[in-house]
Amino acid sequence: MAPKKNAARDITPSAATTPSTAQASVSSTSTPLAAGVAASPAKHASGGKAYSSTSSGGAQSWDKVIGNLVNYYMDSTPQRTKLLDAFMAFLAVVGALQFLYCILAGNYPFNAFLSGFSATVGQFVLTASLRIQTTEANKSDFPAVSPERAFADYVVCSLILHFFCVNFIN
Amino acid sequence: MSANSLDLLSSVGSSKSTRTLLRVIILCFIAAAAVASRLFSVIRFESIIHEFDPWFNFRATKYLVANGFYSFWDWFDDRTWHPLGRVTGGTLYPGLMVTSGVIYHALRALTIPVDIRNICVLLAPAFSGLTAYATYLLTNEMTTSSSAGLLAAAFMGITPGYISRSVAGSYDNEAIAIFLLVFTFFLWIKALKQGSMLWGALCALFYGYMVASWGGYAFITCLLPLHALVLVCMGRYSTRLYVAYTTWYALGTLASMQIPFVGFLPVKTSEHMPALGIFGFLQLLAFLDYVRSAIPSRQFQTFLWIAAGGTFGIGLLGLVLATSAGFIAPWGGRFYSLWDTGYAKIHIPIIASVSEHQPTAWPAFFFDLNMLIWLFPAGVYLCFQQLADEHVFIVVYALFGSYFAGVMVRLMLTLTPVVCVAAAIAASTLLDTYLKAESPKAEDHQADDTAAEGAPKKASKGLKSTNKPAVGIYTFLSKGLVTSAMTVYLLLFVMHCTWVTSNAYSSPSVVLASRMPDGSQHIIDDYREAYQWLRQNTVEDAKIMAWWDYGYQIGGMADRPTLVDNNTWNNTHIATVGKAMSSREEVSYPIMRQHEVDYVLVVFGGLLGYSGDDINKFLWMVRIAEGIWPDEVKERDFFTPRGEYRVDSEATETMKNSLMYKMSYYNYNALFPPGQAQDRVRGARLPEVGPTLNTLEEAFTSENWIIRIYKVKDLDNLGRDHASAAAFERGHKKKKATKKRGPRVLRLD
């Protein structure tokens, strides 16, 4: 079946370490959330909202929330979707590395940087779209898109994306 | 019409395949009408490229066809902007030329040898047929009524607002860009409705084509994010929006960066930042949306939405900071002139000097859109009633487009598609309501509903129809009245469109037409006469100095290098020409020598009453020159103390001594009896003694004096300055005359 093949191919480099990568992806995706969380009680305290009084206990409840999130993710995500997530995490890391390089070492071959960075961002976005379209819960949103169709779209879009990137890289 | 034929008609329209066939036939007829109504200019005049910019596009296309794609891509043109030259391949939108080049080669491959000129002339009408079809598709996404799409296609095909830029011969970027605009919007709606990556990618590809074709692509770049933002603000964020928007943005931005002229602009200028910002914002929303589905906690949700809003604000702040720090180029001058219509006149006279950049006068809306302009709000209202995602798009587009069309005449073009769509929705709703043959009956209505709907929906539907009485038109009289009134309006619309197209928009402006006293047409062909003279009588690389309006035409028709042309990228160079035109001869001559000018070309309409001549444009030359040399050229000096702009004997000394004035009126007196010289454009009687020219000599004047060409004199053989040399020439003759008449005077010293 097509999606399975796709998933297998996408993940080949890190196939052996799939569970751990998935784990890593979870922690990495939840990091910004945690950062946001740290900022939030202060915000609300200054706003004088009702639950500002519980700000001391807030951190713990946020921990619980994150715990819930991780559990929910681990329990209810199909294996293939986890593979997609691992690929997205990989792309995010690559994109971040490129951006870091651009900041630290300068953006001299700007063409090359842009096309490399857009390739990761574009692929990330496309993978996210594929993930959304293949998730069971979203089925009602996409009456016209079957998982097979979604995968075919994904391949076509990726081809277009990489054609443009290669053309632009100089 | 009798009841019998009505029955027949309705039975014809009933079967599905017949309907499809009818629809195809009607669409073909609409496309044919769209093409045919654009051919006035070819029939009246000839198959010729119009106006100014199309001449450059034509020249570039010829270059592309002759030299192939790669040398076109790397084309450095040393025959314009002398002595700078222009990196043409990197500073144009290649979409138009490549399109006609592909058509040319395709026809060649099919062994249909068509002249490239005819392809260029007929490209715009051909694409207008496609635009009509694209409008049909776009409208069909908005409404279920089958007639709306066809009406919209018909409106789009013949509305003057679009014809103004797409008659045969108007070989400009807009010719294909409007089709791409409408089609991109259609694909966007399709992608948004289905949430499909493939449609999003198609949308991005056509967006890329649009970027390659027209600078107006920024309209799409701003409109789609705005639509997405409005949807998010309405609480309509959906995964479909995420898929459609991110696919479009990721692929479309890369596609747009392939065009050398656009290059890094999508990541560096403010015009493109909204799209990027919404892209990032949607990523955040998608993540939050996922988290929300994972954790059903009320507080958490509110916090998340606050966080989303906060991030949006922080992003905006970051954008402002990055702009002020110089990482992102601020909004361009052209953009500011969209917010403040007076901005360009003060800061960038070169933009304000173009007539199509002026604010629109309100009759222009009626002139260009006729009855559509009052159907338009009704259509927008109908969109409000349904207000699905795609209707929000029409509403947003309508607001945006109306504003920009009000600010700049030429942006009427971007408003026209949405007006056609909205007006078609309104008109078709009206017609659908009034054209139903049978009167509605209350119990029928209910019975229909309950029979048609499935069992689960029965209860709610039944409730609805009991709440709402059966709405419809009962009497045949009101039906007939409204329908016939609408028919009359539609017929009037067609007549108006035909009239406007034939009278206002079909003039090539290279060839002028006038009526003889007996009503026959008289063609005034001075432009081509003069350009042909240049082509035949000057050396291959004789540099021609003319105001920038004529640069492309000289390059295209006369094939001679020019100093400035309609690609107004170098304000200083244009100001230099303006200074040479508006200064005294002693100042102008060194400028012309430095730029190796061989001939100077001016357009003069005084004899014929042709108002688009250089004396009327002269103040813009002065203003643009003043922008660079405020000490040497002053606009005030060209006005009389009473603030009038005059060319007769009351004109100021600066005016009379300016090169432009001298070139325009040189020898003009000779046409008239003494003291009778008259300028028919400005209705002024000219002074008895005409201006003298020392540094230039008249080379050519066309039949109706519209174009006058002067040769720049070489340095004097004896090392005198030109004034004294010319004075000597004249004085020599005078001396002879005095010798004959005057008495001899004894020399005393």
For the stretch A91-104, pLDDT in tens is 999 999 998 998 88
Asked if the Cβ–Cβ distance from A154 to B251 is below 8 Å, we say no
Interface of B with A (CB under 8 A): 194-198, 200-201, 204-205, 238-240, 242-243, 246-247, 249-251, 253-255, 257-258, 264, 267, 283, 286-287, 291, 293-295, 297, 299-300, 303, 306-307, 310
At B597, give phi and psi (nearest 5°): -70, 135
CA distances in angstroms from B407 to B172, B339, B364, listed in the order given = 21, 8, 12
Interface probe, candidates B141, B249, B254, B300, chain A, greatest A C-beta count within 10 A = B254
Q: What string of pLDDT tens digits covers the 170 residues of chain A?
A: 334 444 334 333 333 333 333 333 433 343 343 333 333 333 333 333 334 334 444 556 667 777 777 887 888 788 888 899 999 999 999 999 998 998 888 877 888 888 999 999 999 999 999 998 888 777 888 888 888 889 999 999 999 999 999 998 87
The predicted structure's pLDDT at residue B395:
94
Predicted pLDDT of residue B229: 93
| Residue numbers in A near B198 (CB within 8 A) | 152-153, 156-157
CA-based nearest residue to B565, from B587, B543, B532, B583: B543
How many CA atoms are closer than 13 Å to the CA of B308, on its beta-carbon side? 24
Euclidean distance between CA atoms B81 and B567, whole angstroms: 9
Q: What is the structure's pLDDT at A19?
A: 39
CB contact under 8 A, A122 and B250: yes
User: HSE on the CB side for B747, CA within 13 Å?
Assistant: 1
| Separation between Cα atoms, residue B551 and residue B531, nearest integer Å | 11
pLDDT tens figures, B445-461: 444 444 444 434 444 44
pLDDT score for B465: 44
B107-111, B350-354, B500-504: least confidently modelled range: B350-354
pTM for the whole thing? 0.83
B550, B572 in Cβ contact below 8 A? no
A121-135, B12-26, B79-93, B465-479: lowest mean pLDDT where?
B465-479
pLDDT of B32 above 90: yes
pLDDT of residue A25: 40
**Residue A127's pLDDT is what?**
93
pLDDT at B461: 43
At residue A25's C-alpha, the angle toward residues A22 and A26, to 5°, is 90
Rounded Cα distance, B371 and A126, in Å: 45
Buried b (16+ CB within 10 A) or exposed e, B208-238: bbbbbbbebbbbbbbbbbbbbbbbbeeeebb
- The average confidence (pLDDT) of chain B is 84
Region B27-34: what's the mean pLDDT? 94
Which residues are CB-neighbours of B204 under 8 A, at least 6 positions away?
A160, B247, B248, B249, B250, B251, B252, B255
For the stretch B404-420, pLDDT in tens is 888 888 888 999 999 99
Q: Which residues of A touch B250 (CB under 8 A)?
A: 118, 121-122, 125-126, 161
Q: pLDDT confidence of B679, banded at 50, 70, 90?
A: confident
Q: What is the dihedral of CA B296, B300, B301, B302, to 10 degrees?
A: 150
DSSP B237: -
B548 alpha-carbon distance from chain centroid: 18
Residue in B373, B487, B410, B525 with CA at minimum distance from that of residue B172:
B410
Is B390:B142 a contact under the CB 8 Å cutoff? yes
Which run of H or of E encompasses B684? strand B684-685
Average pLDDT over residues B193-201: 91
Q: Where are the beta strands (DSSP E) in B452-596?
A: 512-515, 521-524, 543-545
Answer whether B639's CB lies under 8 Å from B632's CB: no
Return the structure tokens found at A110: 């700007």
Residue B89 pLDDT > 50, yes or no? Answer: yes
**Average of per-residue pLDDT across B239-251:** 92
Q: Where are the domains of chain B?
A: 177-329, 525-741
Q: Give the C-alpha distances (Å, rounded to integers) separating B271 from B277, B309, B320, B509.
A: 11, 22, 13, 34
Of A40, A145, A152, the CB nearest to B195: A145
Strand pairing of B597-603 and B543-545? parallel
Q: State pLDDT tens for residues B142-161.
A: 888 888 999 999 999 999 98
How many CA atoms are closer than 13 Å to the CA of A82, on its beta-carbon side?
20
pLDDT more than 90, % of chain B: 33
Predicted confidence at residue A33, as pLDDT, reads 39
In B, which residues are within 8 Å of A136 by CB distance?
Answer: none
Percent of chain A scoring above 70 in pLDDT: 64
In the structure, what pLDDT confidence band is assigned to residue B732 with cuts at 50, 70 and 90?
low
Q: Can you spell out the DSSP letters for B208-225?
A: HHHHHH-TTHHHHHHHHH
Closest CA to B274 of B219, B321, B324, B338: B219
Task: Check whether B464 has a pLDDT greater than 70.
Answer: no
Burial class (CB in 10 A: 0-12, 13-18, 19+), B47: middle
- Evaluate whether A37 touches B263 at the Cβ level (below 8 Å): no
Does residue B14 carry a pLDDT above 70? no
Tokens coding B494: 């067609």
pLDDT tier at B11, thresholds 50, 70, 90: low
How many angstroms separate the CA atoms of B676 and B393, rounded? 63
- Residue A36's pLDDT is 38
Predicted confidence band at B433 (pLDDT cuts at 50, 70, 90)?
A: confident
Band (B748; pLDDT cuts 50, 70, 90):
low
Lowest mean pLDDT among B40-44, B215-219, B346-350, B546-550: B346-350
Average pLDDT over residues B535-553: 90
Closest CA to B195 of B246, B255, B229: B246
Q: What pLDDT band is residue B441 in, cutting at 50, 70 and 90? A: low
CA angle (A139 as vertex; A137, A143 as ends), nearest 5: 165
Decide: helix, strand or coil at residue A134: helix
| ipTM exceeding 0.85, yes/no | no
Q: Give the whole-angstrom CA distance, residue B278 versus residue B579.
A: 46
- What is the rounded distance in angstroms from the CA atom of residue B386 to the CA atom of residue B526? 57
Q: Look up tokens 């076509």; give the residue.
A: A156
Q: Say yes or no to pLDDT of B10 above 70.
A: no
Sign of CA dihedral B47, B51, B54, B55: positive
How far apart are alpha carbons A83 and A22 in whole angstroms?
7
A5 vs B618 pLDDT, higher one: B618
pLDDT average, residue stretch B19-38:
92
Residue bearing the bigger pLDDT, B91 or B355: B91
| Residue B129 confidence (pLDDT) above 80 | yes
Q: Residues of A at the B interface (Cβ-Cβ below 8 Å)?
A: 29, 33, 36, 40, 43-44, 51, 65, 68-69, 72-73, 110, 114-115, 118, 121-122, 125-126, 128-130, 132-133, 137-138, 141-142, 144-145, 149-150, 152-154, 156-157, 160-161, 164-165, 167-168
Residues contacting B19, CB < 8 A, separation 6+: B13, B146
CB contact under 8 A, A157 and B303: no
Domain B525-741, CATH 3.40.50.12610 — does that match? yes
Whole-number Cα distances in Å, A69 to A73, A134, B281, B302, B402: 6, 20, 22, 17, 47
Query: Higher pLDDT residue, B567 or B62?
Result: B62
Residue A51, CA distances (Å) to A33, A45, B27, B297 in order: 19, 8, 63, 14
DSSP-based three-state secondary structure for B144: coil
- At residue B586, does pLDDT exceed 90? no
Whether B188 shows a pLDDT value over 80: the answer reads yes
Instruction: Say what the pLDDT of residue A39 is.
Output: 38
